[in-house]
Amino acid sequence: SVFCFILKLLSGFGPFRRHLVNSSWEAAKELSKIGLGDDVSLHIMELPVAYGKAKERVCKAWATLQPQLMIHLGLASSSKAIILEQCGKNKFYTEPDVCGFCPEHGCCLPKGPESIESLINMKKVWKNVCLEEIDIIFSRDAGSTNQSLSYGAFKTRKCWQGAMFRLRQC
């Protein structure tokens, strides 16, 4: 028999602003404990809420681990739902990271594409996932700073083997 081994990387973000504990990192740790089955190797990493540092760590993880899929969990503190993001945007980021840095002209990657699309059809995922007592929303507007932190790591790719989820604050 053939054994299929899938390597996935799941990231959550570290503390920022008034969030001393980031729900996205807590969710990543819980998923690591639960596991995704015997045929899935799940690696988790905490990303700092800092543009340059997050980009550096994500690029290093792609190069060293070479995962088939990378999932970024972010925090949407104002939302009561889990948000499935179809794309990440490159512009309009005006909030500084935890180091006080803000991308020049609000652009994560100066010569990068306007947005990057996930190869995963998040709308299809949204239509097929049902969780009791938890709302799930499909979005084409990754408007949070955390998601832009991930964007910079994908360089000039038009699409990527990854997904972005924003979680509600617990």
Output the tens digit of pLDDT for each of the chain's 170 residues. 334 445 677 777 887 877 788 888 888 898 889 888 888 888 889 888 888 888 888 888 888 888 888 888 876 767 777 888 888 787 887 888 888 998 888 887 788 788 778 888 889 988 888 777 778 888 887 654 444 445 444 443 444 456 665 554 54
Phi (first) and psi of residue 34, to 5 degrees: -70, -40
| Residue range(s) defining the domain that contains residue 121 | 6-167
Q: How many CB atoms lie within 10 A of CB 65?
A: 15
**Domain-embedded: residue 146:** yes
pLDDT of residue 9: 72
Answer whether residue 41 is part of any domain: yes
Cβ neighbours around 25 below 10 Å, total: 22
The shares of helix, strand and coil residues in the chain, as percent rounded to the nearest 5, are 30, 30, 45
For residue 1, what pLDDT is reported?
30
Q: Output the six-digit token pair for 64.
A: 């060293």
Q: pTM of the entire structure? A: 0.75
pLDDT at 93: 79
- Do the Cβ atoms of 164 and 137 come closer than 8 Å? no
Number of domains in the chain: 1
Q: Is residue 142 part of a domain?
A: yes
For residue 40, the model assigns a pLDDT of: 82
What's the CA dihedral at 19, 23, 72, 67 to 10 degrees?
A: 120
Domain-embedded: residue 74: yes
What is the CATH number for 74? 3.40.630.20
Report the 10 Å Cβ neighbour count for 128: 8
Nearest to 91 by CA among 148, 53, 155: 148
Q: What pLDDT is attached to residue 150?
A: 53
Residue 1 lies in a domain: no
